[in-house]
Chain A
C-alpha cells in the first residue's frame, strides 16, 4: 500500500469536522423551524430516525470503496475523496486517468490522480456558490406563478432518475449475463444477480406496501425501504456464492 502522510490525515479530519458542522447546523435550524411552524414532533422524529437507518447500509459499499482504492492511493486520499462530492464509480474512473492501476503507483502518479479526482467534480459546489440562489429564486417564482408546471418538472425529474438508472441496470444486466470479470479496480458484476436483486427489491417493497395499506401495519412505513435494501442485499450476497 502506498505511503500515507500525516498532513493529509489532518486535512481529512478538518474536512470531516466541517461536513459534520455544516450538517449539524442545518439539522438544528430545520428542527427549530419545524417547531416554529407547528410540525408534529412525531413526524420530525420519524424523518430523523428513518434517514439514519436508511443511510447505514448504502454507506458500507463506500467504506469498501475506500478499501478498493487504498491499494493504489493509500488510506487518506480515498477517505477524503469518498467523504466529499463524488461517488465510487466516478473516483475509480478519475484515478485511472493516469493509468495508476496498471503500474506500481508512485507519489507523482498519486498526486496527479488526486488533482484529476478533485478538480473534475468541483463544478457543482462552485455553481452553488455563484448561481444557486438565483436558480432557487426562479423556482420559487415558478411555484407561485405556475405550480402545475413545477410539479410536472419535479415529477419528471424523479421519473427520469428512475428511467435512466433502471434502463441501464436492466439492459446492462442482460448484456453482462454471467460473463463479467474482475479487472483490478472494478468488481465483477453478474447480470443475473443484478436482475434477481432488482426483482427481490421490487417484490419486497410491494409486499411492504400491501402490509401497510391492506393490513394497516403503519409502523412498517418507517422501515419499508431499509428492510427492502437489507433483504435484497442479503439475497445478492447469497447469490454471489451460487453464480
Chain B
C-alpha cells in the first residue's frame, strides 16, 4: 500500500513538472521570440528578408541537430531539468556536466526518483547561478568594455577541455565498456574529417558521437542478451538433469 502510494506520488510529481514545464517554456519562448521584434521596432528598421532566406540552410541544419540532441538528452536530464535546460541552454558544456557531477557526488542510482530529484536540483541551481553571473557581468562589461574581454578572452577556448578532461575520467571509470569503442570510432571519424580539411564543429561531433555510441551499445546489448539467454538455457538444462537424476534415484 505504502509503495503504491509512493509510485502514485512519483507520477503526480512528474506530471506536475510536465504541466508547469510546458507553461514556463511557452512563456519563455514567447519572450525570447519577441527580442528581434522589439529590437526592430525600437530601431525603426525592417530585417533584410533576403539574408534570412540565405541563412535557411543554416537554420535547418540547427533544427536537425536540435532534434537529435533532444532525443539524446531526454534520458539524461530529468523532467524538470529537460524543460529548464532547453530554455537556459549551454547543455553540453554546463548543465549536463553539472548534473553528472551532482549525481556522482550524491551517489544516486540511475532511473531512481532520487536521481531525478538531484538532477533537477543541479540544473535549477546551475540555471540560477549562471543567469545571475551573466547579468552581473554586464556591469564590468559596460564599464571596462574591451579591456576585460581582451584580458580573459584568450583562455575561453580551453573551458571545454578543462571540464571534459576531469569529467571524462569519471565517465570512463563508470562506462568504460560502453565508451571505449565509440571513442575509437569517433577518433577515426575526426581524423578523416580534419584530413579532408573540414571541421563540422563540436555540436555536430557530439550528435555523431551519440549516434555511434548508441549503435555500438545496441550491438553489445544484443551480444550480452544472447550470452544471458545461453547461460539461462544451460542452467535450465542442468536443473532439468538434476531433477531427472533425483527422480531416477
Contacts and interface: CB of A to CB of B under 8 A. Distances in A.
A19 B125 CA distance: 11
Interface in A45-63: 46-48, 50-52, 54-63
A149 B218 CA distance: 8
Contacts of B193: 171
Given A59-B134, A156-B178, A156-B214, A228 B165 contact: yes
Nearest to A199: B165
Interface string B76-112: 1001101110111111111011101110111000110
A207 to B, nearest CB: 10
Name, among B92, B133, B165, B220, the residue most crowded by chain A CB atoms within 10 Å (CB to CB): B165
B31 A18 contact: yes
A11 B165 contact: no
Contacts of B97: 54, 58, 225
B190 A168 contact: yes
Q: B interface, by DSSP: helix, strand, loop or mixed?
A: helix
Given A27-B124, A58-B93, A20 B131 contact: yes
Given A47-B102, A129-B25, A163-B179, A156 B213 contact: yes
B75 A157 contact: yes
Given A5-B43, A23-B128, A59-B129, A67 B141 contact: yes
A78 to B, nearest CB: 9
A169 B39 CA distance: 37
B168 A166 contact: yes
B161 A84 contact: no
Contacts of B158: 189, 193-194, 197, 232-233, 236
A134 to B, nearest CB: 10
Contacts of A187: 153-154, 156-157
A132 interface: yes
A75 to B, nearest CB: 6
A64 B165 contact: no
A112 B47 contact: yes
Contacts, number: 554
Interface string A71-82: 100010101111
B6 A37 contact: yes
A106 B48 CA distance: 11
A141 interface: no
A66 B28 contact: no
A232 B203 contact: no
Contact of A7 (B17, B41, B208, B220): B41
Given A22-B24, A133-B18, A171-B187, A123 B94 contact: no
Given A84-B28, A201-B163, A233-B158, A111 B46 contact: yes
Interface residues of B, number: 159
B229 interface: no
B238 interface: no
Contacts of B24: 18, 21-22, 25
Given A37-B113, A64-B149, A111-B46, A79 B35 contact: no
B4 interface: no
A198 B88 contact: no
A167 B221 CA distance: 24
B205 A162 contact: no
A104 interface: no
A92 to B, nearest CB: 11
B112 to A, nearest CB: 10
B83 A128 contact: yes
B48 A112 contact: yes
Contacts of B214: 153, 156-157, 160
A19 B13 CA distance: 20
B164 A165 contact: yes
A22 B22 CA distance: 11
A187 to B, nearest CB: 5
B89 A79 contact: no
Given A120-B58, A167-B186, A155 B178 contact: yes
Name, among A21, A115, A140, A152, the residue most crowded by chain B CB atoms within 10 Å (CB to CB): A115
B178 A19 contact: no
B148 interface: yes
A151 B191 contact: no
8 contacts: A22-B83, A23-B123, A23-B131, A55-B130, A59-B130, A128-B25, A152-B221, A228-B165
Would you list the 4 A-B pairs with minimal beta carbon distance, nearest first? A164-B209, A201-B165, A160-B213, A156-B217
